[in-house]
Amino acid sequence: MRIGVFVCQCGTNIAATVDTEAVAEAAMSMRDVYHAESIQYSCSDPGQRQVIAAAHQHRLDRVVIAACSPRMHETTFQRAVIQAGINPFMLEMVNIREQCSWIHEDREVATTKAIDLVAAGVARVRGQVPLKRGRVPVVGEALVVGGGIAGIQAALDIADAGMPVTLVEREPTIGGNMARLDKTFPTLDCSSCILTPRMVELKHHENIRLMVSSEVTAVRGYIGNFEVDIRKKATCVDEEKCTGCRICEEKCPSRAPDEFNAGVGESKAISIAFPQAVPLVAALRKEHCRQFIKGKCGVCKKVCPADAVDYEQEDELHTEKFGAIIVATGYRLFDWEGAYPDYGGGLYPDVITSLQYERMLSASGPTGGHIVRPSDGREPRDIVFLSCVGSRAESVGRPFCCNVGCMYIAKQAIQTREHLPDSRCYVFYMDVRACGKGYEEVYRRAQVEAGAVYLRGRVGKIYPRGDKLVVMGTDTLIGDQVEIETDLVVLAVGFAAAEGAGELARRLNIAYDGYQFFTESHPKLRPVETTTGGIFLAGACQGPKDIPASVAQASAAAAKAIRLLSREDLETSPMVAEVNHMRCIGCFKCAEVCPYNAIEKQKLHDGRTVAVIIESLCQGCGLCNVACPPQVISLRGYTDNQLISEVVEVLR
């Protein structure tokens, strides 16, 4: 056994606080160390050549690099030791920068600590054995979860690259929240006009399979080899037969809430959400249907000219394999009612959300594009917009900015002037955030062209007076209370994660924050990756963002997925669990705690039943290692004995 120790100076990053020459000298006296030296920049090209040359000269078979975190340069040095003819796993990185020089001031103390850490590294590498990476084939198909604009964009990008994609959407149509918008800032182009061509393209793309009314119920496997259970919910309508004529909807006697229109107007128990829905297929909601509640009706079945209605239809379960998963489950509006009792908590019909207002602005919406007061159907003259309802509001536990409120208020103010030339808009705002390309111009237009009156301050209370509403707030610029009597109040309600986002994250084994937005692997350098390999994020499921940002992120996620799917196979980590079958007592506590279902039972010739690790599933998390009572499970590369000897060295 011949170990080489290389102590990096990292310029002055390490050398200013740690005497690297002294560390190298101390290392020379450690057991089995045949060479030790201090290098100015070990990660530089000359530095690596120095390591390789020393390895050849001293016939080294193990290398310890005392430098920065292995997260920085482990692969750099693995490549170097391979060039020196050494197995890449016979390398140990000792972190004397982040964990030593950067956090200490006293040179003597830091040097002593660095020596201890190097001794621990030498102890671990002494117990190391050469390891070999395995290879697993990659399934060449992608799964996109969520059919809003982000999911659509990601699916189209991957499909255009020639790879098959399955898009799973839980609603009966794709389109997501963007389909509910009338116009989009900053260009004020019609949302449907730019979205629906993409929806149609997706529907007819030869590489895309669309599964609507479907949900991901379980995810197994790992990067390149996910096995996903998808439940296609029964809609009582045969997708193949339905022509989208909407006669069933017209004749259906059961009224139902209209979720697509955010509760403005009513829908039927069997319906198509909007005229451009893709697929253009009716869906029946059993909880509102007379046939299912009372047991008799059958109107839709009778009137359907295509014989597409089938009350007996059952949920279908599909299990499919995918190499990559893109999560694009979007957002919903924050449930503002409970948090804002001072705004009526939902009791005043003329206090509506911006999404409800959006549906009213839409020519294909429930009011045919007319702005009316929900209470009496009258056209409003004065309209008050409130920004930051459930955003930037510590008091209701939503401290973050919704990213889009300022812009869509400006957009809606401009549209209001177009719809109702005699109307007058007031906007209560905290700050106006209009920093995107072309955004400031929209804000100016709302003030100058549409004549919206911007008042800087929060609204304290809204209460009815006669058939009007009184909005009481502060204008912090004049430092006084203001009271506005108005016909309609529009709340710019902030973003919340889609319903069930946390549960989906747990199924996917990806991280999420306290608001159930999914967490990216690194906020700057890995913005579309999750902490689980092979699963990527797109759109507002990761945090509030507008359409341009969602689309850009979706394409980025697609690029990552394409990069993965274009490979034939992937290297696996050899650092997986291993069972010593001689001593396994067959208690299977390992299997109980394994998060990856990577442990199987196997009957041996001597009649004992023991645990075996499925190496392709094992992620090397070490839970089984800890749970095993006789500790016969070890982690390759990190065996108990290696760790014990490290600890012993540090404590010596």
Partner 1 sequence: MDELVKAITAALEDCELVLGWARDPATGAGRPERFTSAGQAQEAIFDATCVHNLAVHLPRLKQRRVGIVVKGCDARSVVELVVEREVERERVQVIGVGCDGVLDLKRIWRRHGYGVAIEDDGETLLVDGSEVERQPLLQHKCRHCLDADPSIYDVVVGGRTAEGPEPRGERQELAERFREMTPSQRRDFWRRQFARCIRCYACREACPMCFCRDVCIMQTQVPHWAGGEVNPKEAEMIQLIRVGHLAGRCTGCGECERACPVEIPLMLLMEEQNRALEEMLDYRAGTDIEARPPLLTFDPDRDLWGDE
Which residues make up the interface to partner 1 (CB under 8 A)?
A: 506, 580, 583, 585, 587-589, 592-595, 623, 627, 629-632, 634, 639-641, 644
State the minimum distance, in angstroms, from the CB of residue 597 to partner 1.
Answer: 10
Residue 421 or 629: the one with the smaller Cβ distance to partner 1 is: 629
Residue 2 or 581: the one with the smaller Cβ distance to partner 1 is: 581
Q: How far apart are the C-alpha atoms of 243 and 446, rounded to whole Å?
A: 43
Q: How far apart are the C-alpha atoms of 140 and 163, rounded to whole Å?
A: 7
State the minimum distance, in angstroms, from the CB of residue 530 to partner 1.
Answer: 15
State the minimum distance, in angstroms, from the CB of residue 634 to partner 1.
Answer: 7
Residue 200 or 587: the one with the smaller Cβ distance to partner 1 is: 587
Residue 415 or 532: the one with the smaller Cβ distance to partner 1 is: 532
Residue 229 or 640: the one with the smaller Cβ distance to partner 1 is: 640
Q: How far apart are the first and last CA of the chain?
A: 22
Q: Which residue in 505, 492, 360 sits closest to 428, CA to CA?
A: 492
H, E, C per residue of 353-395: EHHHHHHHHCCCCCCCCCCCCCCCCCCCCEEEEEEEECCCEHH
State the minimum distance, in angstroms, from the CB of residue 627 to partner 1.
Answer: 7
Residue 333 or 613: the one with the smaller Cβ distance to partner 1 is: 613
Measured in whole angstroms, the distance separating CA 303 from the mean position of its chain's CA atoms is 43
State the minimum distance, in angstroms, from the CB of residue 573 to partner 1.
Answer: 20
State the minimum distance, in angstroms, from the CB of residue 288 to partner 1.
Answer: 33
Q: Which residue in 242, 243, 236 sits closest to 297, CA to CA?
A: 236
State the minimum distance, in angstroms, from the CB of residue 351 to partner 1.
Answer: 33
State the minimum distance, in angstroms, from the CB of residue 497 to partner 1.
Answer: 17
**464: which strand partners?**
469
Residue 459 or 584: the one with the smaller Cβ distance to partner 1 is: 584
Residue 299 or 576: the one with the smaller Cβ distance to partner 1 is: 576
Q: How far apart are the C-alpha atoms of 600 and 618, rounded to whole Å?
A: 11
Q: How many residues are recorded in the chain?
A: 652
State the minimum distance, in angstroms, from the CB of residue 645 to partner 1.
Answer: 9
Residue 162 or 586: the one with the smaller Cβ distance to partner 1 is: 586
Q: How far apart are the C-alpha atoms of 70 and 638, rounded to whole Å?
A: 15
User: Please, where are the H alpha helices in 65-135?
Assistant: 70-83, 107-126
Handedness of CA 516, 517, 523, 525 (dihedral sign): positive
Q: Which residue in 572, 508, 544 sits closest to 399, CA to CA?
A: 544
State the minimum distance, in angstroms, from the CB of residue 610 to partner 1.
Answer: 11
Please report, for residues 68, 125, 277, 614, 621, the alpha-carbon distance to residue 94 in angstroms, rounded to integers and kept in the order given.
7, 11, 58, 31, 21
Please report, for residues 214, 530, 543, the alpha-carbon distance to residue 323 in angstroms, rounded to integers and kept in the order given.
19, 15, 25
Residue 483 or 592: the one with the smaller Cβ distance to partner 1 is: 592
Got the DSSP string for 411-461?
HHHHHHHHH-TT-EEEEEES-----STTHHHHHHHHHHTS-PEEEES-EEE
